[in-house]
Amino acid sequence: MRHVEISVRPETRDPVLEVLDSEQIDYTVVPTNDSSEYESLVSFTLPKSAVEVVLDELERAGLGEDDHTVIVTADMVISRKFGALKDRYTGEVLDDQRLARNELYAESEGLMLTIPIYVTLTLVSAIVATAGLLLDSAAVVVGSMVIAPLIGPTLAASVGTVLNERDLLWTGIVYQVLGVGVAIGGSAAFAWLSKSLFFVPPGIEVLEIDEVSERVLPNLLSLVVAFGAGIAGVLSLSTGTSVALVGVMITAALIPPAAAAGIAIAWWIPNAAVGSLILVFVNLLGVNIMGLLTLWAMGYRPQTRSETGIARQLVRRRVVGLTLVILVLSTFLIGVTWATYEHASLENDVTTEAEAVLDSPAYQDVFLAEVELFLEEGTPFEPAIRIEEGSLLGEPRRIVITVEKPVDDEYSELISELDERITDVTGDDVRVDVRFLEYDTS
């Protein structure tokens, strides 16, 4: 419910009261003092779903910015007529829940912080996220998401587009670009400093850290996170529910990948840096496009019909542009998703063949320990790039099968049998190595 107070000028008093009378809205009129430029103060209470409709009628009747309108939340109204009014304005799904156009604009504008505070909070969030990734601490990473104020700019850009408020639109876009730049740059600087000052062990393989590896090779499921964040963010804003909690989800789609990109840049791992940067921008674009579509589907439009046409064209251009960019970037996600599937299938096939060989009675004391796929050739004891540590777009060049065997037992034929069975699956281009681990039984 909303309580509306309008300080009206002499020429707008009667038109305003005529609209309220025609809508059967209870109101009170209090005369102002002689020194005021306003003739009287008109107060009335509306269901949330009626605010936009009634204000539009009042504006058509002459209410303007020279009058003074204040809308506040009302916790309770005791009135038989108000119940009938509420029933009359209860419409379709979300109509009785969503904010009025003016309230939506005010709420989205209120989420925009000043530049110094916005940059500081984003930088702190990125640094904390980088520390959490290097510590492999999911709790610290989640904590970093609470700090970042990225939900404001993403929602402001969408609201500015559908309402044809160019200032709000461009402010949201500038803030988003600035926030992502600060997050990536701050993460890279902090990661480099941590590496230089030995805050992390020297020679650490950062891509072996689970929290980092999850964000350097994204797949198509990342789009689901971005789309869900965009829809949830708009619904939380437009219905007046907790925006702060949903903001954590939007931040989750942006800050940790930005921190992973900073780490990859600091350690100069180009493939990982490209993958995490693509994840950042895909998520950012996904949040924006779903925010636009959700607001438009909820029926938000500019106040005047002429501006509605302009807003429709603006929304269409933005949706088409964002969709094209997402499709281009998604080629990488599709490649990673397909390569992940191919490598997982290959590893499963190799494991199945190796287990089939070891099921023979001759190898009853031999057990399969591990199957590893590598991007480089070399001996089983040489450093190499594992599939999950490098680019998933690369083809495996070597497979290392690790088996456990009793001490002093020789299985010279096992190597050839494994090589023959696995070569049938992988082809001659992939080298098969067998590593033996000896065990003894007390």
Among the candidates 92, 125, 153, a domain finishes at 92
Task: Note whether 292 and 180 are same-domain residues.
Answer: yes
Which residues, 6 or more positions from 263, have their beta carbon under 8 angstroms from its beta carbon? 130, 133, 134, 187, 188, 191, 206, 212
Could you tell me the residue range of the domain that residue 86 belongs to?
A: 2-92
Task: Note whether 286 and 382 are same-domain residues.
Answer: no
Q: Is residue 164 part of a domain?
A: yes
pTM of the model: 0.73
CATH code for position 167: 1.20.1080
Count CB neighbours of 83 within 10 A.
Answer: 12
pLDDT tens digits for range 81-121: 776 777 666 654 455 567 777 888 888 888 888 999 999 99
- Return the SS3 of 311: helix
pLDDT at 385: 47
Stated as kind and residue range, the H or E segment containing 73 is strand 68-73
Highest-confidence range of 22-26, 63-67, 285-289, 299-303, by mean pLDDT?
A: 285-289
434 in Cβ contact with 414 (< 8 Å): yes
pLDDT at 93: 44
Helix ranges restricted to H, 239-391: 243-266, 270-297, 305-358
Answer yes or no: is pLDDT of 312 > 80. yes
Domain count, the chain: 3
Q: Is residue 311 part of a domain?
A: no
Task: Note whether 296 and 346 are same-domain residues.
Answer: no
Q: Is residue 78 part of a domain?
A: yes
Among the candidates 300, 322, 355, a domain finishes at 300
Q: Is residue 377 part of a domain?
A: yes
CATH code for position 52: 3.30.70.120
Structure tokens at 288: 């924006």
Q: Is residue 263 part of a domain?
A: yes
Q: What is the mean pLDDT of residues 239-254?
A: 74
Q: Is residue 364 part of a domain?
A: yes
Among the candidates 300, 319, 349, a domain finishes at 300
Q: How confident is the model at residue 191 (pLDDT cuts 50, 70, 90)?
A: very high
Q: How far apart are CA 6 and CA 13, in angstroms?
A: 10
Task: Note whether 281 and 152 are same-domain residues.
Answer: yes
Task: Note whether 146 and 276 are same-domain residues.
Answer: yes
Q: What is the mean pLDDT of residues 418-428?
A: 80
Q: How confident is the model at residue 393 (pLDDT cuts 50, 70, 90)?
A: low
- The size of the chain, in residues, is 442
Mean pLDDT over each residue of the chain, to the nearest integer? 82
Task: Note whether 68 and 120 are same-domain residues.
Answer: no
pLDDT at 432: 84
Answer yes or no: is pLDDT of 186 > 90. yes
Highest-confidence range of 12-16, 125-129, 323-327, by mean pLDDT?
A: 125-129
